[in-house]
Amino acid sequence: MPRYKLTIEYDGTGLVGWQRQANGPSIQAAVESALAAITGANIPIRGAGRTDAGVHALGQVAHADLARDWRPDVLRDALNAHLRPSRIAIVLAEPVPDTFDARFSAVRRHYLYRITNRRSPLTLEAGRAWLVKRKLDAEAMNAAAQILVGRHDFSTFRDAECQAASPVRTLERLDVVREGDSIEIYASARSFLHHQVRSMVGSLEHVGAGKWTRQDLRAALEARDRRRCGMVAPAAGLYFLSVDYPKLSRDEAVPEGRDHSKQPGN
């Protein structure tokens, strides 16, 4: 069965998250319903990451096995036609080898957290950023963030219901950048614990507000105690940016007959 990689963008407002659930609409359920509409079959998809309720994505990745070959642009457009009027869109559909797995083939995941730091309420950014009214020192936040970079036991920044086998992760990047009223926090790692990014951001907010020092953040990390976490930042400011995968070798490349990018129709 031909396998396709789907790059997905979505506004998570009002959704229960990526994973299909009984208590509300999810991204997974919407895409699977669109696939069913165009193929007449129930086709499960696997995503690169399970974003929570209210979390957004610019580059979530999933894969699906279809019964026959599709021209990639036709598959993308057909899915988008059935996803309307939801705020979920297939940005790219690509044929991939059967060895590709959206979740297990990933070598790095990238997240962005957005803070709007001003007194005035949000209008256009409502539901898409965290409004923090007290003045934040982004330079102090960035300096403190580097304490968390590297391989650590992140138990302090791990949700109590996290199902990961180990709290140890290697954080490759955690940068805080300010431009005007906007503060953007970039995080990269092979994998993250449940609520890890939002927990780190909430604690960095304490540093920026002068409530914590760098050493307070270091002590919280080293305590390996969830009770020492500053807070969990709201879901609305979090974006799943993109996923990195290893380059395909010649032997792993999609067979020539599978690439229908130059063929008409479906």
Which positions are annotated as active-site residues? 52
Residues 6+ apart with CB under 8 A from 222: none
If phi > 0 it is left, if psi is from -120 to 50 it is alpha, else beta; for residue 104 that is alpha
Q: Which residue has the tokens 């799943």?
A: 240
- In angstroms, the CA 149 to CA 172 distance is 6
Nearest to 238 by CA among 26, 5, 2, 10: 10
- In angstroms, the CA 145 to CA 140 distance is 8
Residue ranges of alpha helices (H) inside the chain are 27-39, 72-83, 138-145, 196-208, 214-223
3-state secondary structure of 251: helix
From residue 186, alpha-carbon distances to 57, 80, 103 in Å are 14, 29, 20
- List of E strands, the chain: 3-10, 46-47, 56-65, 88-96, 108-117, 130-132, 150-153, 168-179, 182-189, 238-244
Nearest to 79 by CA among 43, 108, 51: 43
Residues 6+ apart with CB under 8 A from 154: 148, 167, 168, 169, 171, 193, 196, 221
